Homo-oligomer: A and B are copies of this chain.
């Protein structure tokens, strides 16, 4: 979901940056998108990469996509180092999820993480980040959406999916575009073909469909 929701929402995404996600699962899913020409991943922890390569080859297979370039280091520093407007899509699979307890909207704003992402994205580019479960009564969805609208200056939608592993059985996603043509996250303009888009794993999609 973290991968397909943003990549399906805009036509012909070419440049993707993944922050975190060192296991390779996001890369594996990104490889289903034929328009991509460059996939950068910045993972803090080399051991995550190594452990998945050894013990979870079905997930780490994402690194076999020749477009993938791994940068080991701090995600925020990496984001700050890239030229403005470098990416069509940024996926955050590091840091706390948006709206998580003890790490509220103000902290994210203060740390400037979202501003940094906004600069790394081209106009009309898309950010997808994990967000709190809607069942968390201390998660103020409205204020988090407002914050994202204020910083990213484009379209913002909250999505969720059922994942029993997470507390409450639900994990959320925040989808945001930067200033530019509005993005209709509810109606993906760049759908995946279930049969053709098997990607580097050569496996059919298990959970995502365009509905």
A residues with a Cβ closer than 8 A to B are 135, 160, 162-164, 168-170
Given A135-B162, A160-B162, A162-B169, 11 more pairs with CB closer than 8 A:
A135-B164, A162-B162, A162-B168, A162-B170, A163-B169, A164-B168, A164-B169, A164-B170, A168-B169, A169-B169, A169-B170
Distance in angstroms from A47 CB to nearest chain B CB is: 30
**Subset of 8 A-B contacts with CB under 8 Å:** A135-B164, A160-B162, A162-B162, A162-B169, A162-B170, A163-B169, A164-B168, A164-B169
Distance in angstroms from A138 CB to nearest chain B CB is: 15
B residues less than 8 Å from A163 (CB atoms):
169
B residues less than 8 Å from A160 (CB atoms):
162
B residues less than 8 Å from A170 (CB atoms):
162, 164, 169
Distance in angstroms from A15 CB to nearest chain B CB is: 34
Distance in angstroms from A1 CB to nearest chain B CB is: 14
B residues less than 8 Å from A164 (CB atoms):
135, 168-170
What is the CA–CA distance of A162 and B136 in the complex, to the nearest angstrom?
A: 13
Distance in angstroms from A106 CB to nearest chain B CB is: 27
B residues less than 8 Å from A169 (CB atoms):
162-164, 168-170
Closest 9 CB pairs of A and B: A169-B169, A164-B168, A164-B169, A162-B170, A135-B164, A162-B162, A162-B169, A168-B169, A169-B170
